[in-house]
Chain A
Amino acid sequence: MDYKAIIAKYRDTTGGILEAFNAVQKELSYLPEEVIAEAARIFNIPAAEAYGVATFYSMYSVEARGKNVIRICESAPCHIAGADEVIAALERELGILMGESTVDGLFALEFTECVGQCQATPVITINGEPFFDVTAAKVPGILAKFQK
């Protein structure tokens, strides 16, 4: 769906800019400049304010990034459960460093704080879907799901 149509759906939702941004990101994985400008217009706020919203929340990116966003929890419970090993495995497997995207545009690698699945640390999420008790050995199998 085109981003204008997505944003327009939230036109009557007071304060709905986050809902609109969330919906756009589901499709585009990030918030391009024209999306921010369009949201500012629809919600009748200055572009600077819309940009302020887009840069405040950690799940938004105003820069292009890979389609499948992998987030690794680095909060204390995941940290002591071995998140570092998972990070190393993901970097190795994808050939990129944390904060980067793969050249084929398929994956982005990011840190996150606790995602609320601490019964099964360490945890990663891909496009919001959590994966539990992740080990270096499990990484290739998890990625395979998204490599098609």
Chain B
Amino acid sequence: MAEEMRIVLRNYGKIDPLEINDYIALDGYKALEKAKAMEQALLIADVKKANLRGRGGAGFNCGQKWSFAYQAQADQKYVICNADEGEPGTYKDRLIMENDPHTLIEGMAICAYAIGATKGYIYLRGEYPFLVSTLNAAIEQASKKGFLDKFSIEVRSGAGAYVCGEETALIESIEGKRGEPRFKPPYPPAEGLWGKPTIVNNVETFANIPVIVDKGGEWYASIGAPSYPGTKVFTLTGDINNRTFFEVPTNTTIYELIYKFGGGIPAGKKFKAVQIGGTSGAFIPTELLKTPVAFDAMSEIGATTGSGAVLVLDETRDIVDVVTRIAGFFEHESCGKCAPCREGTARTHELMHKLNEGFGSSEDLELLDRLGRVMSISCLCGLGQAAPAPVLSTIKHFNADYYAKLV
């Protein structure tokens, strides 16, 4: 069985996050030095070879994204760290920033060198105000040591909007606007912040970079599942004995996450369902627990790896009630820019509420299912496209729970 393996959390608990010398003593910033001695294209090629895929949820190949921004011709390019971490049940990015801010800064600095950017931003969710000083202190220490000689980083705080985790909404927010997603294309590596080529990567993605540069892309590609290699941090919540976090290779199965790392279900109760990837993830039944947590394996069962949130429900939980709460989340967080999402999330919540209160009919259930399928293909951004996943997956796998509540 798989063991825990720490790459992005390698320094967790080992260093004082506010002391750069601790980080340096554990070989910190050596990867940046090494990267700067490499040709940009070769550096990017190595990151590509690592096959590191974005840890913010979409799973895009990181090196490939960098190569787009590298090839773009512009007088100014930007590197943005997505530290919006809004997916309910997720706190992995906070763990990294709180305990090892320099690994993020080093990762960003390597990216900046690779694509030719001189300015960077960390977009920090408004719910993490206590991290502003940690990040600023780390940035200041790194520049004093000369690690940020050609690259400056500014921390920008959000103000409570889940959709701002979507990269173009995030860019709008840094520009001082309402955080509404843009139409894509153009994608940020071509036209991002203030219209300039921009790389947006997740905190966990950046935290992998120093280790990849240090040990080489080939080494990284050999860990975990070949199509989504490396490790992933999972945060376990709900009905689980070990309500904590684990960093594991990506070929770990859901079963191992829950029963080995998570220690199983408390109070001798039985497992009912698990939702992985956050609130926009699918609910997964017992039969599918042997699935590896890697991106493509999860896609095959209609689920996602997402942010790595793992919400476990035991046999006593009312799944229709939980999904109703989740539908409320999406109604609240829909930005209102596109009609399918603005209307769809409201109607979904309305129908779920009706069903949950015991007033729903089988026609309502069918309508909900159809609405969900329409939303998943017609909404402008990932928020509306993924919002129906919990509804659709529970109608599919936990149909009896819905039927029990019909009039």
Q: Are A113 and B332 in contact (CB under 8 A)?
A: yes
**Which of A14, A59, A116 lies in contact with B94, CB distance below 8 A?**
A116
Q: Are A76 and B235 in contact (CB under 8 A)?
A: no
Contact with A along B293-319 (1 / 0, CB 8 A): 000000000000000010101000100
Q: For residues 107 through 148 of chain A, which have their beta carbon under 8 Å from a beta carbon of chain B? A: 112-121, 125, 128-129
**Which of A45, A59, A75, A115 lies in contact with B159, CB distance below 8 A?**
A59
Chain A residue with minimal CB distance to B174? Answer: A15
Q: Are B88 and A113 in contact (CB under 8 A)?
A: yes
Chain B residue with minimal CB distance to A22? Answer: B157
Contact with A along B215-258 (1 / 0, CB 8 A): 00000000000000000000101110001110000000000000
Instruction: Return chain A residues, CB-CB under 8 Å to B125.
Output: 116
Q: Are A18 and B156 in contact (CB under 8 A)?
A: yes
| B87 contacts chain A at the CB level, 8 A cutoff | yes
Instruction: Return chain A residues, CB-CB under 8 Å to B279.
Output: 75-76, 114
| B160 contacts chain A at the CB level, 8 A cutoff | yes
| B100 contacts chain A at the CB level, 8 A cutoff | no
Q: Are A18 and B91 in contact (CB under 8 A)?
A: no
| A88 contacts chain B at the CB level, 8 A cutoff | no
Question: B interface, how many residues as a size bin?
Answer: 35 or more
Q: Are B313 and A80 in contact (CB under 8 A)?
A: yes
Q: Are B157 and A18 in contact (CB under 8 A)?
A: yes
Instruction: Return chain B residues, CB-CB under 8 Å to A17.
Output: 176
Q: For residues 121 through 176 of chain B, which have their beta carbon under 8 Å from a beta carbon of chain A? A: 125-130, 156-162, 173-176
| B89 contacts chain A at the CB level, 8 A cutoff | yes
Q: How far is the CB of A45 from chain B (nearest CB, A)?
A: 8
Q: Are A113 and B329 in contact (CB under 8 A)?
A: yes
Interface Cβ pair total, 8 Å cutoff: 124
Q: Are B126 and A57 in contact (CB under 8 A)?
A: yes
Instruction: Return chain B residues, CB-CB under 8 Å to A118.
Output: 88-91, 235, 237, 309
Q: Are B311 and A76 in contact (CB under 8 A)?
A: yes
| A19 contacts chain B at the CB level, 8 A cutoff | yes
Q: How far is the CB of A74 from chain B (nearest CB, A)?
A: 7
| A11 contacts chain B at the CB level, 8 A cutoff | no
Instruction: Return chain B residues, CB-CB under 8 Å to A80.
Output: 238-239, 313, 317, 322
- Is chain B's interface secondary structure helix, strand, loop, or mixed overall? loop
Q: Are A56 and B322 in contact (CB under 8 A)?
A: no
Q: Are B322 and A116 in contact (CB under 8 A)?
A: no
Chain A residue with minimal CB distance to B278? Answer: A114
Q: How far is the CB of A15 from chain B (nearest CB, A)?
A: 3
Instruction: Return chain B residues, CB-CB under 8 Å to A75.
Output: 88-89, 279, 325, 329
**Which of A15, A79, A81 lies in contact with B176, CB distance below 8 A?**
A15
Q: How far is the CB of B318 from chain A (nearest CB, A)?
A: 9
Q: Are B237 and A121 in contact (CB under 8 A)?
A: yes
Instruction: Return chain A residues, CB-CB under 8 Å to B322.
Output: 76, 79-80
| B85 contacts chain A at the CB level, 8 A cutoff | yes
Q: How far is the CB of A2 from chain B (nearest CB, A)?
A: 21
**Which of B130, B173, B177, B326 lies in contact with A129, CB distance below 8 A?**
B130
A79 and B86 contact, Cβ closer than 8 Å, known pairs A18-B159, A18-B176, A56-B178: no
Q: How far is the CB of A84 from chain B (nearest CB, A)?
A: 10
Instruction: Return chain B residues, CB-CB under 8 Å to A112.
Output: 127, 160
| B179 contacts chain A at the CB level, 8 A cutoff | yes
**Which of A18, A76, A120 lies in contact with B173, CB distance below 8 A?**
A18
Q: How far is the CB of B6 from chain A (nearest CB, A)?
A: 17
In this complex, which of A18, A79, A129 has the most chain B Cβ atoms within 10 angstroms of its Cβ? A18
| B22 contacts chain A at the CB level, 8 A cutoff | no
Q: Are A114 and B88 in contact (CB under 8 A)?
A: yes
Bound CA–CA A57/B173 (angstroms): 10
Q: How far is the CB of A23 from chain B (nearest CB, A)?
A: 10
Which 3 pairs between the two chains have the least Cβ-Cβ distance?
A: A15-B176, A57-B159, A75-B88
25 example contacts (A-B, Cβ-Cβ < 8 A) are as follows: A18-B157, A22-B157, A56-B335, A58-B159, A58-B161, A59-B160, A60-B159, A74-B325, A75-B279, A76-B89, A76-B238, A76-B279, A76-B322, A76-B325, A76-B329, A112-B160, A115-B127, A116-B85, A116-B91, A118-B90, A118-B237, A119-B235, A119-B237, A119-B245, A128-B129
